[in-house]
Structure 1
Amino acid sequence: MKISSAKKLSIRQLFAPALLAIAIAPLALTAQADSHGDHEGKGPDRERMEERMEERRQEVYQRAEISEEKQAELNEAHAEHREAMHALREEHHERVAEILSEEEQEALRNAMHEAHEEYRGKHGKRGHYGDNDDSADSE
């Protein structure tokens, strides 16, 4: 029985991030396109963000004293993960296009955008990370 529970837990742990990414990808892409006016996810803003992320990753590697060889392996794993997520996102968009008409897709994007704006209005830009002062009042 314990082996079965361990397998279920590890399967959940494995697929939970991917399922979450699939669920929120349309919202995230819509929000990103709306905020940057960049429907392809490329351009100077994207490049700067990737540069900052790379700098942060290198800083963390240095703090953890990770060897250059292992840093290269980690960077390769990160790139493979990013490519796989991109492919999965594209597959999801194709599947949604098979299920919904363009009008339905637009209605879904609008509804998700509205829900996102409502959430941001209640929880602030960073959501549950304590950006708003209401969290201190609840204690």
Structure 2
Amino acid sequence: MTMSLRQLIASGLMATALLPLAVTAQAGNHGGEHHAPDRERMEERMQEHRQDVYERAGLSDEKQQALNEAHDTFREEMTDVREAHRARMADILDEDEQQALRDAMHEAREAYREGHGKRHHGEAMNDE
């Protein structure tokens, strides 16, 4: 199956628009409720970014609406999947084991960031 250049560009734009949101959704699993205002601001920025991308691509209002509806469906489905996963984890692990797993994931993430010089929430990398 061959994709036209227009289909390829549209797919790329959709992926570009959705990737940060998928990352945001994943980050929401680890942040807890105290990050809700940050998540809302991030969603607003991503919505503005999507709109900018749509306008740059010269997409019609109808196409923009269809993409926004697809995005909304994606978020709802991701929420359902995340909730189902949490329920399965709760069936497998007791509360202490769940906390131990969260702590281990946090430690592993921090070790990875330290080892790879990743920035965290806008912190500048120090090359000295």
1:121 Cα offset (Å): 0.5
- The letter for the 2-side match of 1:113 is H
CA deviation digits over 1:4-26, x for unaligned, max 9?
xxxxxxxxxxxxxxxxx8xxx5x
Please provide the CA RMSD for this pair: 2.4
1:95 is matched with 88
Paired residues of 2:28 and 2:39 also in contact (CA < 8 A): no
Mapped pair 1:74 → 2:73: no
Structure 2 unaligned runs (5+)? 1-21
The structure whose RCO (Cα within 8 Å, separation 6+) is larger is 1
Runs of 5+ unmatched residues, structure 1? 1-20, 135-139
User: What's the CA shift for 1:68?
Assistant: 0.6
1-structure distance, mates of 2:77, 2:84: 10
* 1:106 counterpart = 2:94: no
User: Which SS does the other structure have where 2:78 is aligned?
Assistant: helix
- Identity fraction in percent: 56
Say which of 76, 79, 82 aligns to 1:83.
76
Q: Work out the CA distance in 2 between the residues paired with 1:47 and 1:28.
A: 11
Change (3 A) 1:67 1:59: same
Structure 2 Cα separation of the partners of residues 67 and 124 of structure 1: 41
| TM-score normalised by the chain length of structure 1 | 0.64
Q: 1:124 deviation in Å?
A: 2.5
In the TM superposition, what is the alpha-carbon distance from 1:115 to its structure 2 partner? 0.1
In structure 2, relative to structure 1, the CA distance for the partners of 1:65 and 1:72 (3 Å cut) is: same
Q: Deviations over 1:19-78 (max 9, x none)?
A: xx8xxx5x7622x23xxx62xx63x32221111001100010011111011100000000
Q: How far apart, CA to CA, are the structure 2 residues paired with 1:61 and 1:112?
A: 36
Alpha-carbon distance between aligned partners in 2 of 1:112 and 1:51, rounded to the nearest angstrom = 28
Q: 1:65 aligns with which of 58, 65, 68?
A: 58
Contact 1:123-1:132 within 8 A present in 2 as well: no
Q: Quote the Cα distance in structure 2 between the aligned partners of 1:74 and 1:49.
A: 19
Task: For 1:115-130, list aligned pairs within 5 A.
Answer: 115-126=108-119
Q: What letter corresponds to residue 89 of structure 1 in structure 2?
A: R
Cα distance in 2, alignment partners of residues 59 and 120 from structure 1: 31
